[in-house]
Amino acid sequence: ASASPSEEKNYIVMGTNAEFEPFEYREGSEVVGFDVEIAKAVAAKMGKELKIEDMEFNSLIVALNNKQIDFIAAGMSVNPEREAQVDFSDKYFKSKQAIIVKADNNEIQTADDLVGKKVGVQLGTTGDLFVSMTEGIEVISFDKGPLAVMDLKAGKVDAVVIDAEPAKKLVEGQSDVKVIEAPFVEEEYAIAVRKGDTELLTAINETIKEMKENGEYDKALATYFTE
């Protein structure tokens, strides 16, 4: 059997889309966040250097299967469509979709109220899938979640659907937008590797388990999350 690149090199490459605070975002030129902490621990466990490739969310699975990257750590939710293309690690985070609206919008209070509205999403995300499946929503997709929020502020979309923790970060300190109190669609995040890359998958699963046991997981939550 041919060895996967992650077995041959002295580094492993994390693919991500660093537009998703607190999971991955840029601090200057550096990509930081909760997912990066997990990835660093995986690299340390394997005795390898960690490299990070920041790309469009929608390109990650193709990049993984083309061997441009070794794993995806991008707040990626497990779903059957993705499970057909990659192998997922143990789930490491429970998430929901949230809705961001203008602070003075009282009309949109639940996901049902999105029907008939223009809704911004990040291309290829589960939020995109959800609104695209719902009849009567005009979906406007953006390469980056923060760009959708800019268009919301500019009045070009009525709402933005995005994962709950990033939603909190996107409205933090902003008086003109808010997250509505009606999260929907429960999802769970996992790290993706190429199908059959069991060496890397095992290292990732052991790392997640160890971080939960030794307190590093909770420490990273406390460092990066709001509240």
Rule CB under 6 A: which residues touch ligand ARG? 16-17, 19-20, 24, 57, 74-77, 122, 125-126, 163, 187
Q: Which residues contact 103 (CB under 8 A, 6 or more apart)?
A: 175, 176, 177, 178
C-beta closer to ligand ARG: residue 214 or 223:
223
Q: How far is the CB of 106 from ligand ARG (least distance, A)?
A: 27
C-beta closer to ligand ARG: residue 6 or 126:
126
Q: How far is the CB of 20 from ligand ARG (least distance, A)?
A: 3
C-beta closer to ligand ARG: residue 80 or 215:
80
CB 19 within 8 A of CB 145: yes
CB 64 within 8 A of CB 25: no
Q: How far is the CB of 1 from ligand ARG (least distance, A)?
A: 30
Q: Using CA of residue 20, residue 26, residue 30, residue 32, what is the dihedral sign?
A: negative
Q: How far is the CB of 57 from ligand ARG (least distance, A)?
A: 4
C-beta closer to ligand ARG: residue 17 or 141:
17
Cα–Cα distance between 65 and 61 in angstroms, integer? 6
C-beta closer to ligand ARG: residue 80 or 199:
80
Cα–Cα distance between 105 and 211 in angstroms, integer? 41
Q: How far is the CB of 40 from ligand ARG (least distance, A)?
A: 17
- From 105, 97, 166, select the one nearest 132 (Cα to Cα): 97
